[in-house]
Amino acid sequence: MKALKMILVSGLAVSMLAGCGKQQTPNATVTPAATAATAANPVTINYYNWATGPSIEQINQIIGNFEKKNPNIHVANVQLVNNGNTLDFYKKLDLMAASGESIDVTDFSNVDFVTERAARGVLEPLDEYLKKDNINADNTYFMTPKYDGKVFGLENSSQLWLVAINKDALDAAKLPVPTWGWTWDDFRDYAKKMTKGSGDTKQYGAFFHTWGEYANMTAYTELPNPYLKKDQTPVFGDESFKNFFNLRRAMEKDDQSVKLYSDIIGGKLRYDSEFLGGKAAMIPTANFVLNLIKDTTKFPHTFKTVFAPMPVSSKNVEVGTSNLGGGFVSVGKSSKYKKESYEFAKYLTQQLDLIRDLPGLKDVDKDKVLKALVGDKTDLIDVNSLSATLFDKRIKSVYDPSYSTSYSSQLKPVLENGLSTFLLDNLTPEAAQKKMIEDANKIIQQNKK
């Protein structure tokens, strides 16, 4: 294992989705002496996040509701960055940890980012707090970040991957809305049938973005870990990588139903503008796309979006298997008020007074959540297909927290680069996989020193 300082400051090449009152100046900290909290003498804890715009006020409202119920705890909402950039956020958070600053409650945008910092000793295990509250995290939340068998985070929001489809394009191709159990071969067929036009006005049947999830979507939906085997060796030799790489090439070259990867990279194309701009008929994405669909100021469009579950590799895959990501909150090991910080983290993940995203809770009022997520945009969002996709009782993640390491985020670029070299350099799948395994082994060995 690397020296602590190097571990804390390294491994910052992270890129994921982001998501957030009483707003303080970035880097502000409040560290009064640890004393017993009472309503007359409340303690102050800091909640670190990367919120911007309306999200700050929404969290202010949640904090206000919490403080009414817990007058002995005051929560300061601290935006470590003011640009919403999670890469910058994690850099600052890790520097705080390396310098010994107190961290009370902090947001994370991906389960790997939680377990990495748990492995570094930055976070407080929550098992004893949960036990006292008689909470089984695995039964309560869709995903629970664990390291060495201990819980280090609670799921604040769930990100279920799905396929968003332009209903106009679907109807024009006379295709039904896909349901649970459709395969990637079906996806390819749908994309071919929804591709129309040519040149600048061409509408492609589908769009694949550049994030690692798009390089092998099967690895995220059907493998316990998309980067590693149980023995901590690379999983990149798995047959699913060959199959998905070949699918990507066939859709580009043979079907011409997706844009060339080189054009996507060269044009710095965005998944949201490609889909909502009508340039692609469908896109694998997650439920965060709902907020983008509703933002008709930024993405003016009139077509309705319908939703389908993620495709599976074959008809033999268990129905309900999907890629379930999410946002998480954790308590810092350095916090002087761990119990109070846990109470706020628990409240954040379980309150439904202000629904900002799909909750991480398994048991929620479906209609209440749908109403909050869709709002008055039923002309743009098909509620029936959305409900069938988000709330099927069979939904489960195959993610296994026991595979977690302190360097998981360093392996995601290996997958991204593997697909890139496969498509751009016209490699065979086997050659791309060999290179990925070699690159991953270098990272693994470096982290064993």
At residue 209, the pLDDT reads 95
Q: Are 293 and 379 spatial neighbours (Cβ–Cβ below 8 Å)?
A: no
What is the spatial distance between Cα 258 and Cα 208, in angstroms, rounded to a whole number?
7
> Residue 366: exposed, middle, or buried by beta-carbon count in 10 A (0-12, 13-18, 19+)?
exposed
At residue 38, the pLDDT reads 65
Cβ atoms < 10 Å from Cβ of 38: 10
What is the spatial distance between Cα 71 and Cα 135, in angstroms, rounded to a whole number?
23
> Residue 327: exposed, middle, or buried by beta-carbon count in 10 A (0-12, 13-18, 19+)?
buried
Per residue in 125-153, is it b (16+ CB within 10 Å) or e — as a string? bbeebbeeeebebeebbbbbbbbeeebbb
Distances (CA, A) of 354 to 55, 64, 67: 11, 11, 15
Length of the chain in terms of residues written: 449
Please say whether the dihedral angle defined by the alpha carbons of residues 182, 187, 190 and 192, taken in this order, is positive or negative: negative
- The H or E element that residue 160 is part of is strand 154-166
At residue 13, the pLDDT reads 37
The model's pTM is: 0.85
State which amino acid sits at residue 332: G
- Encode the chain (449 residues) as per-residue pLDDT tens digits: 433 333 333 443 333 333 333 334 334 333 333 455 666 688 999 999 999 988 999 999 999 999 999 999 999 999 999 998 998 999 999 999 999 999 999 999 989 899 999 999 999 999 999 999 999 999 999 999 999 999 999 999 999 999 999 999 999 999 999 999 999 999 999 999 999 999 989 999 999 999 999 999 999 999 999 999 999 999 999 999 999 999 999 999 999 999 999 999 999 999 999 999 999 999 999 999 999 999 999 999 999 999 999 999 999 998 888 888 899 999 999 999 999 999 999 999 999 999 999 999 999 999 999 999 999 999 999 999 999 999 998 898 888 878 878 888 899 999 999 999 999 999 999 999 999 999 999 999 998 86
Per residue in 395-404, is it b (16+ CB within 10 Å) or e — as a string? bbbbbebebb
